[in-house]
């Protein structure tokens, strides 16, 4: 025990903010006016901390075996320093890869995917509304200007996607994983498209259905409670977006996912795939127990792939990548905005969650989300995970199509149109 305490005291000395530890027997180690205080109920938690298993400490907090006091930003600065190594693994054995693929296949049937999506997105609409922007856009914002608010940056992101896709009035537009309808509404109201969105979340489906009625967009916008694998390929779409969805597809299903997009997209059409990517080329989940924590409490079935893996599967499906943009630090800032908003409304969040379940579960959900938002913000800032917007086309095989010979699509092979001041 003395060896464990000495190791912890050594760890505390090298941390970026003052940290105090309250031991199971009631003793306190560290300064009296600490920025962060961790109170442990048993000695096993201290051993976990000494080993740098951040995810396990997070689980202990959710299950009330550890109490944490202090700002989330300070806590994450401490967490980053407690890990002995980077949580991004460098390689994986053939057996590990084989087992991961088998697990992915089992985890991503249509029924399992529906359950997993509803586990996360159907927690409570009112809970999400407390810390998201007014449009409830639950994906990386685009801080085009440094002084933008979260709401402004989310609108900038919606428009950034619409510009990249070169949306035109009357086009058939599909949003795969449409969330609470932010992109659907923006595309329909500002670009005049005929928009279809799909989701597996019952709460989101009901919310967007009402939003369509409230805005008088029946006939121009529709939202379906449907798996992407069930979409009819007969008519085809001019443009497709998938924002914050393909993280739920699974490595084993990625070839089929892009093949489905290819089949849904008209020849010459364009698709935007916006999603979180792995920091490791071996497609490893975050180490130090962080990936296990997210799998258990936040995103069951979620899998991240390195952008090189995504591009390989996209290309194998017959799609041509024409532009890829890394927005990683934008997601760090977005997540901190969400985290700060939730931290400022903790009592309201407890009440909202308690009205949709029992008080014990409500507290567990709130603790998990507090750590999830702040932990992901830290992970994006550190570069342990990424966010890529991948713009691709389905070439039509006609050399005369497009602004330049051989384009074979509407994409002009010039980025200027994305950033021009007028649409």
- % of the chain with per-residue pLDDT over 70: 84
Q: Tell me: pLDDT of 207 over 90.
A: yes
Give the model's confidence band at 341: pLDDT under 50 very low, under 70 low, under 90 confident, else very high: very high
Q: Would you state the structure tokens that stand for residue 291, as one six-digit string? A: 């990936």
pLDDT in tens, 162-177: 999 999 999 999 999 9
**What is the longest distance spanned by two Cα atoms in the chain?**
78
The predicted pLDDT at position 82 comes to 76
What is the homologous superfamily of the domain 2-82 according to CATH?
Answer: SCP2 sterol-binding domain (3.30.1050.10)
* Of the ranges 94-98, 300-304, 310-314, the best mean pLDDT one: 310-314
Take residue 223 and report the two structure tokens written for it. 């939202």
Q: Can you tell me the distance from the alpha carbon of 179 to that of 172, in angstroms, rounded to the nearest whole number?
A: 19
pLDDT band at 392 (very low <50, low <70, confident <90, very high): very high
Which DSSP state fits 273? E
What pLDDT, in 10s, does the model give residues 362-373?
888 899 899 989
- Give the range among 16-25, 337-346, 394-403, 414-423 with minimum mean pLDDT: 414-423
Question: What is the rounded end-to-end Cα distance, in angstroms, of the chain?
Answer: 66
Task: Look at residue 164 in the predicted model and tell me its pLDDT.
Answer: 97
Q: Where are the domains of the chain?
A: 2-82, 94-419
Count other C-beta atoms under 10 Å from residue 421's C-beta.
4
pLDDT at 228 over 80: yes
Region at 193 (left for phi over 0; alpha for psi -120 to 50; beta for the rest): beta
In angstroms, the CA 366 to CA 362 distance is 6
Q: Is the pLDDT of residue 384 over 50?
A: yes
The architecture (CATH level 2) of 94-419 comes to 3-Layer(aba) Sandwich (3.40)
According to DSSP H, which parts of 215-345 are helical? 254-264, 290-297, 307-316, 328-343
pLDDT at 358 over 70: no
Mean residue pLDDT of the chain comes to 86
Q: How far apart are the C-alpha atoms of 225 and 203, rounded to whole Å? A: 10
pLDDT tens sequence across 274-307 = 999 988 887 566 665 777 777 777 766 678 889 9
Among the listed residues 49, 52, 57, the one whose alpha carbon sits nearest the alpha carbon of residue 84: 52
Domain 2-82 and domain 94-419 have a common topology: no
Please report the pLDDT score of residue 59 as a whole number.
86
**Residues with catalytic annotation?**
376
What is the rounded average pLDDT of the residues 28-48? 83
Q: What is the pLDDT of residue 304?
A: 86
Most confident option among 23-27, 70-74, 354-358: 70-74
Report the pLDDT value the prediction gives residue 96, as an integer from 0 to 100.
43
- When pLDDT is averaged across residues 232-238 and rounded to a whole number, the result is 94
* Under 8 Å between Cβ of 307 and 277: yes
Inform me whether the pLDDT recorded for 328 exceeds 80: yes
């Amino acid at each position: 025990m003395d060896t464990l305490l000495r190791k912890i005291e050594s760890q505390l000395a090298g941390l970026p903010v003052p940290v105090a530890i309250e031991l199971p027997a009631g003793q306190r180690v560290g300064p009296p006016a600490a920025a962060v205080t961790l109170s442990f109920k048993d000695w096993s938690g201290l051993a976990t901390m000494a080993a740098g298993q951040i995810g396990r400490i997070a689980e202990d907090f959710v299950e009330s075996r550890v109490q944490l006091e202090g700002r989330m930003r300070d806590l994450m600065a401490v967490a980053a320093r407690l890990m002995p190594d980077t949580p991004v693994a460098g390689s994986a054995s053939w057996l590990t890869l084989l087992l991961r693929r088998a697990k992915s296949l089992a985890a991503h049937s249509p029924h399992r995917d529906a359950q997993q999506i509803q586990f996360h997105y159907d927690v409570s609409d009112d809970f999400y509304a407390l810390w998201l922007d007014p449009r409830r856009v639950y994906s990386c914002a685009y801080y085009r200007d440094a002084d933008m608010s979260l709401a402004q940056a989310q609108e900038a992101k919606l428009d950034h996607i619409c510009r990249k896709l070169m949306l035109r009035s009357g086009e058939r537009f599909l949003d795969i994983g449409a969330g609470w309808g932010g992109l659907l509404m923006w595309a329909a109201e500002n670009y005049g498209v005929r928009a279809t969105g799909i989701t597996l979340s019952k709460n989101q489906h009901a919310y967007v259905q009402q939003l369509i009625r409230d805005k008088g967009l029946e006939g121009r916008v529709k939202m379906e409670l449907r798996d992407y694998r069930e979409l009819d390929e007969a008519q085809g779409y001019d443009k497709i977006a998938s924002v914050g969805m393909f993280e739920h597809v699974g490595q084993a299903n990625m070839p089929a996912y892009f093949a489905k997009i290819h089949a849904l997209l008209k020849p010459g059409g364009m698709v935007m795939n916006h999603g979180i990517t792995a920091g490791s080329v071996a497609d490893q989940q975050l180490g130090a127990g962080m990936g296990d924590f997210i799998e258990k409490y936040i995103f069951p079935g979620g899998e991240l792939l390195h952008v090189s893996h995504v591009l390989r599967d996209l290309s194998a499906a017959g799609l041509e990548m024409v532009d890829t943009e890394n927005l990683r630090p934008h997601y760090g800032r977005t997540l901190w905005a969400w985290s700060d908003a939730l931290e400022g409304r903790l009592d309201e969040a407890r009440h909202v969650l308690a009205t949709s379940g029992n008080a014990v579960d409500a507290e567990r959900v709130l603790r998990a989300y507090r750590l999830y938002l702040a932990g992901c913000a830290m992970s994006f800032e550190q570069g342990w995970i990424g966010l890529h917007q991948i713009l691709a086309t389905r070439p039509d095989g006609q050399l005369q199509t497009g602004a330049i010979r051989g384009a074979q699509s509407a994409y002009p092979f010039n980025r200027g149109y994305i950033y021009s001041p007028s649409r």
